[in-house]
Amino acid sequence: MTDAGFVIYRVRSQTAPPEGRYEFRVWPRSPHPAGSALQRFWPQVGAERRTDVYLVHAASDLLLVKLRDGQRLEIKRRGHDVGSVQYWSTQFSTGFPLAAQERAALAEALDLTRGLSADAALSPAHLLATLDARAELVVPKRVRKSRLLFLSGACRAEVCRVAVGSWTGLTIALEAPDLPSIAVAVDDLRLGSLPNRSYGEALVCLANPSPQDRRRLPSGAGTHQEEPAP
């Protein structure tokens, strides 16, 4: 069993709303037995190679903005943690060009005080060029992913080799709409002794935005709070 710091059974009946999921992601520095256990005992349901572009800012560990496969804009917000498990909900996922409402939401998420012009929202290339030209405190990071996907009950798992520039690493992740599914999987795969770090937190460390530039999320953004263990 995992240690006392990873107590989530207290909300056994709690289920995430349809747009959100509970997530647990680790970044082992050496091969972890969970990788082989997943390949031996969990049904594999997919394999994928793609490159996402994350728009890294000082609060990316709470508000994750990325261009999925370099093309589709996605914004995810972190809600209330339960023990070590994070809860993320998708604000929206959309193609380009961006509508005015989506453009405004993106500017707010990235804390762009001057907003974004309609031209900047025409395509991913227009957006990235605009951010580069304005020298905003937003660092685009191309994240190359090669991953295997597994499914057991309601819980999905991935084993992913990640490359960001010259850095490479391994990440193992679990996600599910309910807490019990995550709890069982974390215990079975013996992942509970490793810290749960989202892509946002990992990329903030790599991009290293200045700590004093970290800001509060906009009002009503679902800022991170942790539910205490009993």
Does domain 9-227 fall under CATH 3.40.640.10? My reply is: no
Cβ within 8 Å of residue 185, ≥6 positions away? 24, 152, 155, 157, 174, 176, 191
Domain ranges of the chain: 9-227
Confidence of residue 208 (pLDDT cuts 50, 70, 90): low
pLDDT tens digits for range 139-163: 999 999 999 999 999 999 999 999 9
pLDDT tens digits for range 54-107: 999 989 999 999 999 999 999 999 999 999 999 999 999 999 999 999 999 999
Q: Residue 95: phi, psi to the nearest 5?
A: -85, 180
Judge whether residue 12 has pLDDT over 70: no
Q: What is the per-residue pLDDT for 5?
A: 37
Say if pTM beats, i.e. exceeds, 0.85.
no
Q: Distance (Å, rounded) from C-alpha 176 to C-alpha 22?
A: 5
